[in-house]
Amino acid sequence: MGKPTGFMEYERQTSEVVAPKERIKNFDEFHIPLSKEKQQLQGARCMACGVPFCQSGATISGMTSGCPLHNLVPEWNDLVYQGNWEAAYKRLKKTNNFPEFTSRVCPALCEAACTCNLSTDPVTTKENEYGIIETAYERGYAVAKQPGIRTGKTVAVVGSGPSGLAAADQLNRRGHSVTVFERSDRVGGLLMYGIPNMKLDKKVIERKIEIMKKEGITFVTEANVGENVSAKELLERFDRVILACGASNPRDISAPGRDAKGIYFAVDFLKSTTKSLLDSGLKSGTYISAKDKHVVIIGGGDTGNDCVGTAIRHGAKSVVQLEMMPKLPDSRSENNPWPEWPRVCKTDYGQEEAIALFGHDPRIYQTTVKEFVKDKKGNLCKLVTVKLESRRDEKTGRMMMSEIEGSEETIPADLVLIAAGFLGSQPYVTKAFGVEVNERTNVKTQPEQYRTNVDRVFAAGDMHRGQSLVVWAIHEGREAAKAVDYDLMGFTNL
């Protein structure tokens, strides 16, 4: 463990951040890491408690408590405290293929489950992880290592998001020859085009991809399997295929005026910004711009928050975020005890920036769109919103959010971004391979398995489990790789 009395002697200290009004001037990452000495003291706060919920990944009351990857958190926290960064890196890499990603974008399920929450603040596990992986790159620990023996087996991975990359990484380590097919012009999937640069600098992704290439993995971009690359071709060329295409169908909003010009899905807005930023530093003008516009974002969650931060960086005139559900409490309620995931209100970076710039929280709770209002040219100009309340449905007995009659309001809107989540896999891929899908359009497999109904075809990630976290996608990729390896070799040591 860390220092036995560390959690009593040292207070939780996190990285500094660039002030909101300053950081919105660019799309750079804005956290300023602690010095190694200060980070080591944070490692000292780890108690190595008898039951480390931080690494459990258990489901409690329908929510995940602790890390789904079962990261060896107490072990590498102790090694951070000792200043043994190389050993800490080796322990971290045993369970996590991409700590450079999770240490930036994960909501830190490990910290929410930390035993220190019972009486004080949790250990800074996420930032300790960041310290480990960045020190590994700095000191040359995170170098390419090719497998010693090749098995002669070939695997195609369709999709280069966190799940596909994790599966490819694992199978390559085992000695199989892996080719990753990505439909976009850059590798990374959700990591590249779904998460803004200020949360995950794309140089971080490119740095890791270069290592994976040196280790023997082949990447093919602009290869849209099911369209310009056939499923038949992959099944003929490769011994096994893993589908890891993500949950790519955005949930729409059905309301009068939906055909107005100026309404976009959040994923298209974010992708257009990142692509233009990478291609030309936004000089191309090919992105969906929020400059000088009244922006309304429909939906909360990480994607909605990312849209807030991105719209502000464009120079939006105003930003409003509509959330259907009530505001969560600011602290744990009695029916939400530790080690459950804390169902509390979180003010993220985008909302912080909106508060600093406009003087108020952009979120309006228990509200949805009733009508999109167009001008004579068909351009969006206003929204009619309506308040919602929770009522029990007489037929099903379930609690539902229902409109409150007479609560309609009209607000200005030049640009609407729909961030209402995703509905599952895209049909042109699943139909190309003939794999079965469930009622949520996720690829169907047996429980806890990754083999589809089609021989030699496996599925993983959001395409398999539905929209989820990067850390769950990595878990899925690792488990699918294990299943493929066993299918190829008759045993697995992954």
Tell me, yes or no, whether 258 lies in a domain.
no
What is the per-residue pLDDT for 460? 97
pLDDT at residue 423, rounded to an integer = 86
Which structural domain, as residue segments, surrounds residue 304? 263-418
Q: State whether 211 and 237 are in the same domain.
A: yes
What is the average per-residue pLDDT within 21-38? 97
pLDDT by residue (tens digit) across 462-473?
999 999 999 999
Domain shared by 478 and 450, yes or no? yes
Give the pLDDT mean for 399-415: 95
CATH number of the domain where residue 169 is located: 3.50.50.60
Find out whether the peptide bond into 99 is cis, omega within 30 degrees of 0: no
Residues 175 and 136: their CA atoms lie apart, in Å, by 24
Q: Are 107 and 135 in contact (CB under 8 A)?
A: no
| Residue 150 φ/ψ, nearest 5 degrees | -100, 140
Using alpha carbons, select from 485, 476, 13 the residue that is nearest to residue 245: 476
Beta bridge partners of 322: 298, 364
Residues 6+ apart with CB under 8 A from 146: 214, 215, 216
Nearest to 36 by CA among 118, 134, 104, 125: 134
- Same domain? For 115 and 212 the reply is no
Residue 1 has what pLDDT?
64
Cα–Cα distance measured from residue 29 to residue 104, given in angstroms and rounded to the nearest whole number: 9
Instruction: Round the average pLDDT of the chain to a whole number and report it.
Output: 96
150 — pLDDT class (breaks 50, 70, 90): very high
Q: What's 434's DSSP letter?
A: T
- 480: pLDDT strictly greater than 70: yes
Domain total for the chain?
3
The residue from 401, 418, 435 where one domain ends is 418
318 lies in the same domain as 367: yes
pTM of the model: 0.96
Tokens representing 173 are 């380590």
Tokens linked to 116: 């220190």
Provide the pLDDT for residue 383.
Answer: 97
394 lies in the same domain as 281: yes
Residues 62, 200, single domain; the answer is: no
Query: Are 272 and 408 in the same domain?
Result: yes
Please check the confidence at residue 2 and state whether its pLDDT lies above 80: no
Among the listed residues 426, 160, 190, the one whose alpha carbon sits nearest the alpha carbon of residue 302? 190
Name residues whose C-beta falls within 8 Å of residue 317's C-beta, 6 or more positions apart in sequence.
292, 293, 294, 295, 414
pLDDT above 70: residue 10: yes
Kindly report, residue by residue over 179-221, the tens digit of the pLDDT.
Answer: 999 999 999 999 999 999 999 999 999 999 999 999 999 999 9
- CATH number for the domain including 39? 1.10.1060.10
Does residue 148 belong to any structural domain of this protein?
A: no
Same domain, 209 and 115: no
Query: Where does a domain end: 115, 139, 163?
Result: 139
